[in-house]
């Protein structure tokens, strides 16, 4: 059963701050994700290996 007295306009007004807050949080999380991915990619990875006779040695190894 549904509620007999529903005021859709009043419900829209009451839910507006919560929905705006959710949009702000998702937008902030997206910005943090993009910044994290852009700073974590530096161009050096496991494909930058130096091949020797014995075994591949990565540039970052001491």
pLDDT, tens digit, 9 for 90 and up, residues 1-55: 677 788 888 888 999 999 999 999 999 999 999 988 887 776 555 555 555 566 5
pTM value > 0.75: no
Neighbours of 49 (CB within 10 A): 14
Ordered by start, the domain boundaries in the chain are 10-58
Phi, psi of 53 (to 5 degrees): -70, -35
Q: Compute the distance between CA of residue 52 and CA of residue 45 in angstroms, rounded to an integer.
A: 18
Q: Which residues, listed in sequence order, are joined to residue 58 by a DSSP beta bridge?
A: 49
Residue 59 in contact with residue 50, Cβ under 8 Å?
A: yes
Q: Which residues, listed in sequence order, are joined to residue 49 by a DSSP beta bridge?
A: 58
């Amino acid at each position: 059963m549904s509620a007999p007295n529903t005021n859709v306009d009043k419900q829209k007004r009451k839910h507006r701050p919560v929905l705006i807050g959710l949009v702000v949080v998702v937008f902030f999380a997206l910005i943090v994700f993009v910044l994290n991915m852009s700073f974590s990619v530096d161009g050096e990875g496991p494909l930058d290996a130096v091949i020797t006779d014995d075994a591949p040695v990565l540039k970052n190894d001491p």
